[in-house]
Structure 1
Amino acid sequence: MCGRLNVIDDPLAQQVFEQLKIRFTPSSLAEVCPGQNISAIANVEGKLDQRNGIWGLKPEWANRLLINAKVEGVESKSTFKDGYANVRIAIPCSGWYEWQLCDDSKVKYLFRDHSNNTLYMAAIGLKNSRLVTLTTQPNLQCSPYHHRMPLLLHANQVESWILGNRREADNLLSTVWNEPLDIVKC
């Protein structure tokens, strides 16, 4: 689920500034892959600010890089619970990719906001500047493509997610994204 992100700095940087009132200067990449550096919004001394991190974590027990955590267990799984309690972040992006198997080949789809607005993916920060995105059950529009989707936040929820208390964060875990998305076959 959500193994690649789309980050296009224009209009992303301007929209983040207008919505969150912070300077945001991401690297523009059509496909951000796990293990790469990614720009995020984090709590820096009690205010929202940009921080960069590496997408994914490889614990000793894992066979591969972990890039996502399910909202259903993020507060209780030992790998993620400290990050959820203490380092909630948001990743502004232009969209994300999913693949479907069609006639023995994979077809890639780009999911992006219908009005070309910034999408804010809920994420948590982990040790050594690592981060993972959070996934949830898909909405009706995304369910034909994958059994999970990113936990997307509206711009007015980002501050509560990052700076709010645990109860506010818990309430946002059940956020259902019902805004229209464009799903583009690549």
Structure 2
Amino acid sequence: MCGRFAQYSSRDEYFDALGLKPDEITFDPEPIGRFNVAPGTKVLLLNEQEDVLRLDPVFWGYGPEWWDKQPLINARGETAASGRMFKPLWNHGRAIVPADAWFEWKKEDDKKQPFCIYHKDNQPLFFAAIGKQPYGEDHGKEGFVIVTSASNRGMVDIHDRRPLVLSPDAVREWLSPETTPSRAEEIAHDAALPEKAFIWHPVSRKVGNIHHQGRELIEPVREGQD
């Protein structure tokens, strides 16, 4: 799953990684600076509307009126395209969360040790997301969810699910309204970065508290250290 992530680079860095030109989207060199993004907050979400790329603050979570539980924050990539809850979002609400890392917790000696997971070359990450269109409007708790996939190899030792991270060259097709739902399924399967693209290290348990927001949250610590 993905319950916390970091979105701290500048918009320029995310857009440069996608090869976007200045006239395609407004650039802003100021760092976003969020080292502990939590569900229930608004997150900058890259999306396409009427052939225009946009970056809108959108509520992280999805709970339609008939849903009587806490808003969901993730959708399984294996079933999102066909399930009752997420099929409309998959068809008409695909988006991207630009990020730098995400956090997962591993249970060790009756305690949970958080790990920071990031690209081995420190490249920006692009999480596949789906949500309620049109973005930029307030839909209450009908915001967006991050699409997840199964973890394999060494990463499964930390958590069995992870965000579906798309390669930069697949982002525009994923976002395009011209992309069919079935083609989006192919992109999710074929353009996801493999586990070998990532590395990880233990971080402070302070990341579990939303009130902690500093850069120190992504710095490595010894396992078991607070």
TM-score by length of 2: 0.75
Assess, with a 3 A threshold, how the Cα gap between structure 1 residues 167 and 77 changes in structure 2: closer, same or farther: closer
Larger fraction in strand = 1
Asked if the contact 2:147/2:163 (under 8 Å) is kept, the reply is yes
Greater C-alpha radius of gyration: 2
Match of 2:93 among 82, 87, 101: 87
Assess, with a 3 A threshold, how the Cα gap between structure 1 residues 20 and 90 changes in structure 2: closer, same or farther: farther
* Deviation by residue 1:87-136 (Cα, 9 ceiling, x = unmatched): 10010100110001111111000101111111000000126160000011
C-alpha distance in 1, partners of 2:79/2:120? 30
**Partner AA of 1:29 in structure 2:** R
CA RMSD of aligned residues (A): 1.8
**Structure 1 unaligned spans of 5+:** none
1:40 equivalent in structure 2: 45
Percent identity, please: 27
Q: CA deviation at 1:20?
A: 4.0
2:73 equivalent in structure 1: 67
SS of residue in 1 equivalent to 2:153? coil
2:155 equivalent in structure 1: 142
The equivalences for 1:112-151 within 5 A come to 112-126=118-132, 128=139, 130-151=143-164
Q: Which moved more, 1:23-32 or 1:105-114?
A: 23-32
**Partner AA of 1:23 in structure 2:** T
SS of residue in 1 equivalent to 2:189? coil
Asked if the contact 1:122/1:152 (under 8 Å) is kept, the reply is yes
Match of 2:26 among 23, 28, 32: 23
C-alpha distance in 2, partners of 1:48/1:157? 15
Q: Which moved more, 1:136-145 or 1:149-158?
A: 136-145
C-alpha distance in 1, partners of 2:94/2:70? 23
Match of 2:180 among 144, 165, 172: 165
Q: CA deviation at 1:62?
A: 4.2
**Partner AA of 2:91 in structure 1:** A
Asked if the contact 2:42/2:57 (under 8 Å) is kept, the reply is yes
Assess, with a 3 A threshold, how the Cα gap between structure 1 residues 89 and 131 changes in structure 2: closer, same or farther: same
**Partner AA of 1:111 in structure 2:** I
Asked if the contact 2:152/2:160 (under 8 Å) is kept, the reply is no
Q: Which moved more, 1:95-104 or 1:60-69?
A: 60-69
**Partner AA of 1:96 in structure 2:** W
C-alpha distance in 1, partners of 2:118/2:156? 15
C-alpha distance in 1, partners of 2:34/2:90? 27
C-alpha distance in 1, partners of 2:42/2:98? 13
C-alpha distance in 1, partners of 2:27/2:202? 29
C-alpha distance in 1, partners of 2:57/2:97? 10
Asked if the contact 2:75/2:147 (under 8 Å) is kept, the reply is yes
1:7 equivalent in structure 2: 7
C-alpha distance in 2, partners of 1:134/1:97? 15
**Partner AA of 1:54 in structure 2:** F
Count of residue correspondences: 184
Q: Which runs of 4+ in 1 moved over 4 A?
A: none
C-alpha distance in 2, partners of 1:143/1:7? 23
**Partner AA of 2:193 in structure 1:** W
SS of residue in 1 equivalent to 2:67? coil
SS of residue in 2 equivalent to 1:174? helix
Asked if the contact 1:80/1:126 (under 8 Å) is kept, the reply is no
